[in-house]
Structure 1
């Protein structure tokens, strides 16, 4: 038995049968962006929409700007930090010793050791 919520004759992602009759597309303008590798990226924007300062280049992933001769610089990537590195930034060695002593005392108390 078919579910009552299914729509027969359609599929996920299906477009309307006649989109030209239902709505008129917004007026568009082409905007070009250039990345540091010299790739040109052309995107369509609505006429009344503000163009973003940067756009990600689909070929190399670098940021692209509207100035062909002065594209945005490569983003500076931060090195990977482990959880321990973040803890060491927040805690001093004396704090770490105190926390360790407290945790060891709790474990020994649970075990019945002195």
Structure 2
């Protein structure tokens, strides 16, 4: 199973949701990362209702100290990360650095 983490998915209108859906259609298990836990749960449920594989995960991009916790959680639950989509470019380097041990490949948009 390929695993992708998509950040900034707080509503259906955000680009991250369309990206998450497309990755799901390509066979990825999509982790919906959002600072709004309720939104992540709702949007993950919507993807699952479409027959896609998705899991919500609380991820506050403004809390760089929490990046190592996210990396540990992804490792514990999935053991790998194949794709990382970060909607907010200000946090790319720090989040990628925290997740780099898990990444097989990071698509660059």
- The TM-score, its normalising length taken from structure 2, stands at 0.19
Structure having the higher helix fraction is 2
Which has the higher Rg, Structure 1 or Structure 2? 1
- The TM-score, its normalising length taken from structure 1, stands at 0.19
